[in-house]
A = this chain, B = another copy of it.
Amino acid sequence: MKMNDYIKLVDRKLDEYIQIETPENLFKSMKYTVTLPGKRLRPVMCLEICRILGGKTEDALPTACAIEMLHAQTLIHDDLPCMDNDDFRRGKPTNHKVFGEAIATLAGDALLTYAPQIITKYSNNLAPETIVKILNEYFNYAGARGVIGGQVADIESEGNLDNIQNKQEVLEFIHIHKTSDLFQLSMRTGAIIAGANEEKLNAITDFAKKFGLAFQIADDILDEISTFEQMGKTLGKDKQSGKLTYVSLYGLDDAKCKLACTLKECRDIIEKQNIESEIFEDIIQKIQKGAEI
């Protein structure tokens, strides 16, 4: 399948999986951010690795969509006034700008259990053992030891740069958890559904971790050099709010260099694993070119 076919498939399922029930505003708010047009990188990478390792797309589809819902959840809460206070996301008003803070907070809460429910409800071909395994991955990467831990470290670094002793360590913690963790979740679950062995799973985890790192460095760079029109969100905010980013810590040139290196490491891993995928190559190239990601 081509990238666009995957995206269409995921978009169709996301639309199908969230019907407007009562209370309407809650479901509309959930659906609003989940169905904002996007590259669907995380579900695509889940589905693609599953295919490559011999799994069925239909078996991984509920999990892939659940991860996109989880991603949307992090966006809704990250944009809240008490967090990053952003008004735009993917060129549209953020969730709380449309539905208000209370509903946006609750829509995010709802997605955190709605997403794994999609996995248990629609993964008809998976054994209960596999479903429990997938859910454990979800709980781990979505929670305090995953994405949320990263977001907390990110917030705590803000405006506090001078007081952080071990900046490199903290930055790595933020990047790994805030960004890499969802890519790790995507690729690990895709691989588990395909029945990957431990060695394969470790290599894929390593790839996803590094890929997420590259993705975040690229995002830090774009926040510095891009425009609102290109990105559809408010930019230059990292610098303004004194955030710990790759660019603020190492400067723009070093960030670009680190990006190239990290993507090279990603390529080496998949090559060593004999993984041939136009889609992974496409995604890596797009990030390398600093294209919109």
Q: B-contacting residues of A (Cβ < 8 Å)? A: 21-23, 25-27, 30, 73, 77, 80, 82-83, 100-103, 105-106, 108-110, 112-114, 116-117, 120-121, 127-129, 131-132, 135-136, 138-140, 142-145, 148-149, 151-153, 155-156, 173
Contact = CB atoms under 8 A, between A and B. Distances in A.
B109 A136 contact: no
Contact of A21 (B22, B110, B114, B145): B145
Nearest to A144: B110
Nearest to A121: B136
Given A23-B153, A116-B116, A117-B136, 18 more contacts: A21-B144, A21-B145, A22-B153, A26-B144, A77-B105, A82-B102, A83-B105, A103-B152, A105-B105, A106-B148, A109-B148, A110-B143, A112-B112, A112-B113, A113-B138, A113-B142, A128-B128, A132-B132
Given A82-B105, A105-B80, A23 B152 contact: yes
A30 B102 contact: no
Contacts of A151: 106
A202 to B, nearest CB: 21
Given A77-B109, A155-B102, A156-B23, A117 B131 contact: no
Contacts of A155: 102-103, 106
A260 to B, nearest CB: 30
Interface centre among A27, A136, A152 (most CB of B within 10 A): A152
Taken together, the copies of this chain in the complex come to 2
A114 B144 CA distance: 7
Contacts of A109: 73, 77, 108-109, 112, 148
Contact of A116 (B30, B108, B139, B156): B139
A38 to B, nearest CB: 21
A112 B112 CA distance: 7
Contacts of A153: 22-23
Nearest to A170: B23
Given A102-B83, A109-B109, A112-B112, A149 B117 contact: no
29 contacts: A22-B149, A22-B153, A22-B173, A25-B152, A26-B148, A26-B149, A73-B109, A82-B100, A82-B101, A83-B102, A83-B105, A109-B109, A109-B148, A110-B144, A112-B112, A113-B138, A113-B142, A113-B143, A116-B116, A116-B135, A117-B136, A117-B140, A117-B143, A120-B139, A128-B129, A128-B131, A128-B132, A131-B132, A135-B135
